[in-house]
Amino acid sequence: MTTKKENITYKQAFNSAELFGYIKAIGTPVCLLIISMFVITQFGLFGINLLAPLTGVMWIAGAFVAWALPSQRESTCKETHIAIAVYVSGIFAIRLILTLAMGTSNEQMMASYSVVMPTTSALSIEGLLQTMMLVAVFLGPLSFLGMMTKKFVTFKKRMSKQKVMDNLRGLRDTGHVHSDYDR
């Protein structure tokens, strides 16, 4: 006589918190990609030749560090999303300010501020904004790559998240490190 054993499986209903988690995990990068594509197209060839590759390098660096460091995956994804959002919106804001300042003449600036201004002031403001935009275009991705490199080296070669937390707890409690790692 054989008895048939039934497998017991645990089933949990799909709740709204899980649904929100999936929407957030998929929606955040997709929305960020759409916003990035919009900003890149606003810059024309400058966006296609410079902004798109630099933004792509930021995405790739964040994805690589998230893949290589499973313990840091969630924080790396958040940092990548925030860095790209700030980078793209900052570049776009500078572009908007630059387009507002482009049409301003020296006479308009003198009338607005009720002061005498040199003739070159209107040109120097536009030049300053253009230089600020070029610096921001390069420094954003370079600083993000530096941050990801530091994170990768720190956590991959030397420490785990637990060791870092233990060291911080030791510093907080007594003022010096109690870990064998740093001795």
How confident is the model over 111-144, as pLDDT tens digits? 777 777 676 665 677 778 888 888 999 999 999 9
pTM for the full predicted model? 0.70
**Is residue 85 situated within a structural domain?**
yes
Please name which of 150, 155, 153, 152 lies closest in space to residue 165, comparing C-alpha atoms: 155
**Is residue 168 situated within a structural domain?**
no
How confident is the model over 26-59, as pLDDT tens digits? 999 999 999 999 999 999 898 899 999 999 999 9
* Local confidence band at 182 (pLDDT 50, 70, 90 cut-offs): very low
In terms of residues, how long is the chain? 183
**Is residue 183 situated within a structural domain?**
no
**Is residue 4 situated within a structural domain?**
no
Full residue range of the structural domain in which residue 51 is found: 18-158
**Is residue 174 situated within a structural domain?**
no
Q: Cα–Cα distance between 176 and 108 in angstroms, integer?
A: 61
* Local confidence band at 25 (pLDDT 50, 70, 90 cut-offs): confident
Lowest-pLDDT choice from 19-28, 57-66, 67-76, 100-109: 100-109
**Is residue 170 situated within a structural domain?**
no
In our burial notation (b when 16+ CB lie closer than 10 A, e otherwise), range 29-54 reads beebeeebeebbeebeeebeeebbeb
Is 15 or 58 the better-scoring residue by pLDDT?
Answer: 58
Per the structure, how many domains does the chain have?
A: 1
**Is residue 28 situated within a structural domain?**
yes
Matching residue, tokens 């990035």: 36
CB atoms within 10 A of CB 154: 13
How many CA atoms does the CB half-sphere of 67 hold within 13 Å?
6
Residues 6+ apart with CB under 8 A from 134: none
**Is residue 167 situated within a structural domain?**
no
Residue 96, pLDDT above cutoff 80: yes
Rounded average pLDDT over 175-180:
52
